[in-house]
Structure 1
């Protein structure tokens, strides 16, 4: 796995090689993924964009127990297509958030395609589904969504506009990502960790 594939050359000024957790956001354009991240982080974040590959990286520090973690949150920079994401977007991710717009039915219908991209590139990791823009469609909170229910994916009704459930969504995602980091059945994740350690050792020599 080259450094381009694991993302280090995509964001050379970041601390990505030292991040403890990686979370990815997936969903159609304009469903509010970036706004959700920014609402969660408020002013306590840095972000970098790679316009060539339409990727945005956010970095966030989170304390779990006595350990302070560096979390990288990857977004798709508003140029989403099912087949256009760089392989590094999925590489070594520990959890994912699938986002759709409560006011646009087609964005919900596209979740299966986004999920297929995720699974084919990364394997099975914790996935949460965010129903965004509930401030514009309050009746949606009364609905049950069959697709995530069948997949066993937790559903969060959120609003990037007023902050409803946004912190809960990301806190739960980070917690699940931390647990998944030690999942012995996550073969692809274990391989990524080994390659990352090898890269660090190589830099020392």
Structure 2
């Protein structure tokens, strides 16, 4: 019974990720980190007045759609959240597919969530070796001293570091706006073969709609 349930969950997860990847936003930005570090709450705070949640699966993926003006044009951006899949200590490979940037989050109240970032970073780089990563220390409202601490991982991997609070909003808008800009810049200079193929396909789709 358990095996059948797991097989069904796996099939539904594949379907959810396939459906999400079938859409072609201008940018895809993923959130990564342990369960309950506040990834979803950070996005909700960023998009507080008008956010909409599209949950393809209760355990596979939560997709948020956002629009931003880049180079004078309004562009669609997808933010992907894990919806609890990170509890299995590994993400579905489609989660990383065609991502242009990553916001990696840990909880300053739980040291283990920082230690586990190495695992998440290693897995990310298997699939997306060059995309920019922004590192977020979340929940600093509950531990203000954390904002004075240095975290070696940011220096080691040349990540931009942000001290945030999803609760009171500290630096939340900044990290998401910076992620959009970083993803946009990456897309403009990417030499990844699959990035270039997908860019051509997206342009073909846009031309077909004219």
Q: TM-score range by the shorter chain?
A: 0.7 to 0.9
Selected match of 2:170 from 164, 173, 177: 164
What's the secondary structure of 1:181's corresponding residue? helix
Indicate the SS of the match to 1:9.
helix
- Measured after TM superposition, the shift of residue 72 of structure 1 is 0.2
Moved beyond 6 Å, runs of 4+ = none
Q: Using a 3 Å threshold, how does the CA distance of structure 1 residues 66 and 103 change in structure 2: closer, same or farther?
A: same
Distance 1:138 1:83, change over 3 A: closer
Q: Could you state the TM-score of these two structures normalised by the residue count of structure 2?
A: 0.84
Higher helix share: 2
Unpaired segments ≥5 residues, structure 1 = none
Give me the whole-angstrom Cα distance separating, in 2, the residues matched to 1:77 and 1:184.
28
Distance 2:81 2:139 in 1: 18
SS at match of 2:98: coil
1:17 pairs with 3, 16, 23, which one? 23
Asked if residue 46 in structure 1 is aligned to residue 56 in structure 2, the reply is no
Moved more, 125-134 or 114-123: 114-123
2:33–2:117 Cα contact (<8 Å) kept: yes
The CA RMSD measured in Å over matched residues stands at: 2.4
Distance between the aligned counterparts of 2:47 and 2:27, measured in 1? Answer: 16
Q: Distance in 1 between matches of 2:187 and 2:20?
A: 23
What does 1:21-100 correspond to in 2, within 5 Å? 21-51=27-57, 54-81=60-87, 83-100=89-106
Number of positions where the alignment pairs a residue of Structure 1 with one of Structure 2: 195
Q: Does 1:193 align with 2:199?
A: yes
Q: How far is 1:126 from its partner?
A: 0.5
The answer on whether the counterparts of 2:16 and 2:61 sit within 8 Å (CA) in structure 1 is no
Q: Which runs of 5+ in 2 are unaligned?
A: 1-13
Equivalent position of 2:137 in the other structure? 131
Question: Does the 8 Å CA contact 2:30/2:101 hold for their aligned counterparts?
Answer: yes
Rounded to whole Å, the distance in 2 between the matches of 1:193 and 1:65 is 17
Q: Call closer, same or farther: CA 1:81–1:188 in 2, change over 3 Å.
A: farther
| CA–CA distance in structure 2, aligned partners of residues 193 and 64 of structure 1 | 16
